[in-house]
Chains A and B, each alone.
Chain A
């Protein structure tokens, strides 16, 4: 698959401070999460990809276009929902989003039509003629999403899209993002400090720490791998024959205290067969869990690894 974003030794410096340190990565997912603690360089990376900051070394490519040499072309492919409030307070929602769509190159009739559609799509159809300054926080977030999608970009940058939203509004925003992702005609870059948002919306995650890439993982693959990892608790001590039988079927096994056992099932082996062997070996399985290596675990491991370096 062609990479959505390629970071090729990307370095950004502000004065003597290095903000992004020779980043190298190739992101191919449909929806990519950008994680990292405050000051990790997430916003700087987004701003650099948008062409707001000039790289001091290296470059980045978005959908094959170099952000240094083809900045205008790159920006024509992008929709951007910034983290902070960004709108003109005394403009009505429709007028503002229409202005933004026209600046993206849409003829005014199309811009108006798509603005109305975008407002209905994000659930603001009834308030679209109200001044943006009178919107609630949730409405403002939705209006920012509307202006980001009104011109039909190929890549959507969402910077903290659920910031300050109450649970129902957050759920609605996550559903919208998932819907856009699942349509399949747009790529998403979601920057958030909320691991749950990224976990629910993204299939790839890039974790930044102090301007470096701390980890890059494919959540889909992680999820698939997790399905093969089992934690089993048996009654009494684990029967050695049971372990040998499982290993005979290609399982990796490690025993713990009090009848606990960790198993990694090979491809093709089903959990049902585990129960059958346990029955044959007179082993009573009390509990069986699929190990869930959450994004939080991945994130914490990445942070620990980065600190260790």
Chain B
């Protein structure tokens, strides 16, 4: 019907499948993100490091390229091993933190500050779908920054090594990359949404996100100094994740203690179960914060 005909008619057409309806939210969020030139440039720039890694892997396996560069011994300088992939994951995860701090706060806070949640939830759309929809954009973007290039580099290395042996011997690296990235992505996404739900002012929510990582870690160090303990590291989320990564990569903690930002000081490592439990508690806290805030109508008791 032409729009100039000012009449109303009921809708009797087909509906989209309810299972995939939550994807509407990330599609709109992605359109919003594309409007920001800064974010687009930042996101593209975040692929520089994986490209450099790909170049390193390629050059490592190309004797003529090494001869051309006059660096025949370079092959021995950089090894493609757990440290190489942990550093990649560490660097990319750091960038993912920045991305989450830029995009995350803008996900829930505008809906809350404009009372739009009642409109979302008055539709055949649950709170869980809303949260998953809002997380999805972060999950997709951070996946493309972390485990996707990581696994592509892993496959490139396996291909250039010319054989299943390397692939088979180093499956732990792929598992570590995949699951390690997911631990980080889930924590980032949950934290970004939880802060976005509680702090309606976007810049403050973004700053708080960094605060949770840097200020809490500093506070943990202060506790360690004053109390002469190592349990202050429980507040250092990145170090907890670093420890989990080392386990997932099947690496030696003495040699590989996560990436730079994710390193726990030698001799102060916490038991792995403590790291996992702390991270699980942290996720549960974020979910609780979301549960309290994501409601169609606020209850005033």
Listed in ascending order, the chain A residues whose CB lies under 8 Å from chain B are 14-15, 17, 43, 47, 50-53, 72-73, 75-76, 78, 80, 82, 84-90, 95, 99-100, 102-107, 110, 113-114, 116-118, 120-121, 123, 125, 147, 149, 151-152, 154, 157, 179-180, 183, 185-186
Is B24 in contact with A51, judged by CB distance below 8 angstroms?
Answer: no
Is A47 in contact with B297, judged by CB distance below 8 angstroms?
Answer: yes
Q: Please give, as numbers and ranges, the residues of chain A lying within 8 Å of B7 by CB-CB distance.
A: 117, 121
Q: Please give, as numbers and ranges, the residues of chain A lying within 8 Å of B24 by CB-CB distance.
A: 99, 102-103
Q: Please give, as numbers and ranges, the residues of chain A lying within 8 Å of B73 by CB-CB distance.
A: none
**Cβ of B70 under 8 Å from chain A:** no
Is B118 in contact with A82, judged by CB distance below 8 angstroms?
Answer: yes
**CA separation between A120 and B4, bound complex, in Å?**
7
Known: A82-B115, A86-B115, A116-B3. A103 touches B21 (CB 8 A): yes
Interface residues of B in 1-21 (CB under 8 A from A): 1, 3-16, 18, 21
**Cβ of B301 under 8 Å from chain A:** yes
**CA separation between A118 and B11, bound complex, in Å?**
12
Of the candidates B1, B3, B10, which one forms a contact with A125 in the assembled complex, judged by CB atoms under 8 Å apart?
A: B3
Closest Cβ of chain A: how far from B140's Cβ, in Å? Answer: 18
**CA separation between A186 and B10, bound complex, in Å?**
8
Q: Please give, as numbers and ranges, the residues of chain B lying within 8 Å of A179 by CB-CB distance.
A: 8
A-B contact pairs, 15 of them (CB 8 A): A14-B299, A14-B301, A50-B122, A50-B297, A52-B297, A53-B297, A86-B115, A86-B119, A88-B110, A88-B114, A104-B123, A104-B124, A106-B16, A118-B8, A151-B123
**Cβ of B111 under 8 Å from chain A:** yes
Closest Cβ of chain B: how far from A286's Cβ, in Å? Answer: 49
Is A73 in contact with B124, judged by CB distance below 8 angstroms?
Answer: yes
Residue of A nearest to B1 (CB): A117
Q: Please give, as numbers and ranges, the residues of chain A lying within 8 Å of B110 by CB-CB distance.
A: 88-90
Is B122 in contact with A78, judged by CB distance below 8 angstroms?
Answer: yes
**Cβ of B125 under 8 Å from chain A:** yes
Listed in ascending order, the chain B residues whose CB lies under 8 Å from chain A are 1, 3-16, 18, 21, 24-25, 28, 110-111, 114-116, 118-126, 295-297, 299-301
Most chain-B Cβ atoms within 10 A of its Cβ — which of A14, A114, A117, A121? A117
Residue of B nearest to A180 (CB): B8
Known: A52-B297, A73-B124. A107 touches B118 (CB 8 A): no
Closest Cβ of chain B: how far from A131's Cβ, in Å? Answer: 12
**CA separation between A149 and B7, bound complex, in Å?**
12
Is B116 in contact with A88, judged by CB distance below 8 angstroms?
Answer: yes
Is B118 in contact with A183, judged by CB distance below 8 angstroms?
Answer: no
Q: Please give, as numbers and ranges, the residues of chain B lying within 8 Å of A110 by CB-CB distance.
A: 11, 13
Known: A86-B118, A88-B110, A120-B6. A152 touches B124 (CB 8 A): no
**CA separation between A53 and B9, bound complex, in Å?**
31
Is B116 in contact with A87, judged by CB distance below 8 angstroms?
Answer: yes
Closest Cβ of chain A: how far from B129's Cβ, in Å? Answer: 9
Closest Cβ of chain B: how far from A99's Cβ, in Å? Answer: 6
**CA separation between A47 and B115, bound complex, in Å?**
14
8 more A-B residue pairs beyond the given contacts A50-B118, A89-B114, A117-B8, with a C-beta to C-beta distance below 8 A: A51-B296, A82-B119, A99-B28, A103-B25, A117-B9, A120-B3, A121-B6, A186-B10
Q: Please give, as numbers and ranges, the residues of chain A lying within 8 Å of B3 by CB-CB distance.
A: 113, 116-117, 120, 125
Residue of B nearest to A80 (CB): B122
Is A114 in contact with B116, judged by CB distance below 8 angstroms?
Answer: no
Closest Cβ of chain B: how far from A93's Cβ, in Å? Answer: 13
Closest Cβ of chain B: how far from A71's Cβ, in Å? Answer: 8
Of the candidates A17, A78, A84, A103, which one forms a contact with B120 in the assembled complex, judged by CB atoms under 8 Å apart?
A: A103
Q: Please give, as numbers and ranges, the residues of chain B lying within 8 Å of A113 by CB-CB distance.
A: 1, 3
Q: In the A-B complex, list the 8 residue pairs whose CB atoms are closest, starting with the nearest.
A: A152-B11, A52-B296, A105-B15, A80-B122, A52-B297, A76-B124, A152-B10, A86-B115
Residue of B nearest to A19 (CB): B299
Residue of B nearest to A13 (CB): B301
Residue of B nearest to A77 (CB): B124
**CA separation between A45 and B5, bound complex, in Å?**
36
**CA separation between A52 and B295, bound complex, in Å?**
7
**CA separation between A107 and B124, bound complex, in Å?**
14
Is B124 in contact with A147, judged by CB distance below 8 angstroms?
Answer: no
Is A106 in contact with B11, judged by CB distance below 8 angstroms?
Answer: yes
Known: A120-B4, A152-B12. A75 touches B123 (CB 8 A): yes
**CA separation between A154 and B10, bound complex, in Å?**
8
**CA separation between A17 and B14, bound complex, in Å?**
43
Is B297 in contact with A80, judged by CB distance below 8 angstroms?
Answer: no
Of the candidates A80, A88, A105, which one forms a contact with B111 in the assembled complex, judged by CB atoms under 8 Å apart?
A: A88
Most chain-A Cβ atoms within 10 A of its Cβ — which of B5, B110, B118? B118
**CA separation between A179 and B13, bound complex, in Å?**
23
**CA separation between A43 and B299, bound complex, in Å?**
11
